[in-house]
Amino acid sequence: MSFTPDELKRDLGLSHVEFCEEVPSTQDVARGIVVPPPFLVYARRQSKGRGRLGRGWQSDEGGLYLTLVVNRFAGDWTVPLVSAYILRQGLSTYVDGLILKWPNDVLHQEAKLAGVLVEVWGSRLGIGVGVNVNQTTFDGNLKEHVTSLRLIDGGTHDTEGLLISIVSALMDGVPELRERGFVHFHPRIRKLLQASRQPVRLHHGSDVITGELCDLYPEGDALIETTAGERLRLPAGQLLGGGS
């Protein structure tokens, strides 16, 4: 480690930093910490990393796994999308052609490079970020759909440097969202989303709906055009997971 938790705490204005070799999930460790936010949990590996909608997140050594805990605020349902945007912008300094996928992913040529999971714990939000950095192998069924910075450009990347730049960008971006609202980010995120004309697949009751994302409302909701030609508004509020 090229810096100590105390240095990181001081430099990034955090109340606490916890480094772990291996944990089931940084989300669970962060949820149990009682110091005042903002604070950070970072792990080299997770044995039970999780994503949205009950999915797992393969978390072998070489990736970046962190949870930043902040206090809740009015309009925080757009934190997942704004965090994914911040992540996409940060990772774009390493590789070109990254796609922000509504609501919480960063893709490279349709393969997942990074994802955000935001959970609500009482008056706090746990912003979980996973980035595939130096891994070169993924489990069988994931292989086709997942990539890493290393698989994209062949280079070895400094995971700790990435940790600092991502947490620092989130520590700037989340207060900006709290103070200026989603309208401040809307034009930039809308432009990115519209440029990628991304396919959407979602569960609606017992049906699976497929279509394309056509627009982003100033509140963060997405406008979808289904393959059957119907237009649907998907609320960004459904993006906050967790409970209690």
Residues found near ligand BTN in the complex (CB under 6 A)? 25-27, 46, 49-52, 55, 57, 65-67, 104-105, 115-117, 128-130
Residue 52 or 186: the one with the smaller Cβ distance to ligand BTN is 52
CA 240 vs. chain centroid, Å, equals 12
Q: Are 33 and 41 in contact (CB under 8 A)?
A: yes
Residue nearest to ligand BTN (CB): 115
CB of 29 to ligand BTN, least distance (A): 9
Q: Are 106 and 87 in contact (CB under 8 A)?
A: yes
Residue 67 or 134: the one with the smaller Cβ distance to ligand BTN is 67
CB of 110 to ligand BTN, least distance (A): 14
The whole-angstrom separation of Cα 81 and Cα 64 is: 19
Residue 144 or 230: the one with the smaller Cβ distance to ligand BTN is 144
Token pair for 197 = 């004309």
CB of 85 to ligand BTN, least distance (A): 14
CB of 180 to ligand BTN, least distance (A): 25
Q: What secondary structure, in 3-state letters, does 98-164 show?
A: EEEECCCEEEECCEEEEEEEEEEECCEEEEEEEECCCCCCCCCCCHHHECCHHHHHCCCCCHHHHHH
CB of 20 to ligand BTN, least distance (A): 11
What one-letter code names the amino acid at 229? G
Residue 107 or 177: the one with the smaller Cβ distance to ligand BTN is 107
Residue 112 or 186: the one with the smaller Cβ distance to ligand BTN is 112
